[in-house]
Structure 1
Amino acid sequence: MEHPAFTLAALCSFGGVMGYMRKGSLPSLMGGLGVGALYGVGGYLLKQNMDYGIQVSLGASLLLTFAGAPRAIKLRKPLPIALTTIGLVTSAYYAKKYSEFYLE
């Protein structure tokens, strides 16, 4: 269950660095590294079977979704649409895992 979190930690961090290197976008750098760090913490907590791993990963997924949604709707460019879609899919995944572990 920690694999998606670690994968997204790497992808978000890499994307933030690339956004900064290509366009000089400091918000991309800060956002990518911030969301990547949240995914990394969530993945670590999940791997160690510690509390709040699913919640942190779900929070990072929701943050990714809601941060990208306005740009995806307004700009209609592929990258914001992809980020929002990834956020939605991982939000659904971690919400399902949360309900399996805590609500059943």
Structure 2
Amino acid sequence: MTPDQNALVLSFLLTVGGLIGYLRKKSKVSLIAGTALGANFAWASKLMERGSSQGINYAFYGSLVLLASSGPRFYKSRKPVPMILTVLGVISTWYFYRLWA
């Protein structure tokens, strides 16, 4: 998969995850965060598709935000959803860092 496709997959996963969090637990934070990060990754994907290096920046910093927000929640709760988000954050940060650096 190309970097823009990876960013688009992350966009989809985060947006759907935020929507599911809202529907199951009425969590507005999940909805807002999932939608915002999903939009960030969708925009990053579009920029990468157009050949702009700014897309990598958006994806990398979005990955850092995902990792920074989910890591502490996983550390405290040890629950599956923060764990999955943390793993996604670690993998995507590593992946986009390699492209960014």
TM over 0.5: yes
- Tell me the residue number matched to 1:34: 36
TM-score (norm 2): 0.95
Identity across aligned pairs (percent)?
32
TM-score (norm 1): 0.92
Residue pairs, 1:31-70, within 5 angstroms: 31-70=33-72
Q: Which amino acid aligns with 1:34?
A: A
TM superposition outliers: structure 1 runs of 4+ over 3 Å: none
State which structure, 1 or 2, has the greater radius of gyration over its C-alpha atoms.
Answer: 1
Structure 1, unaligned runs of 5 or more: 100-104
- Tell me the residue number matched to 1:6: 8
- Count of residue pairs the alignment pairs up: 99
- Tell me the residue number matched to 1:17: 19
- In structure 2, what is the Cα distance between the partners aligned to 1:24 and 1:79? 15
- Tell me the residue number matched to 1:74: 76
Shift of 1:51: 3.6
Shift of 1:27: 0.3
Structure 2, unaligned runs of 5 or more: none
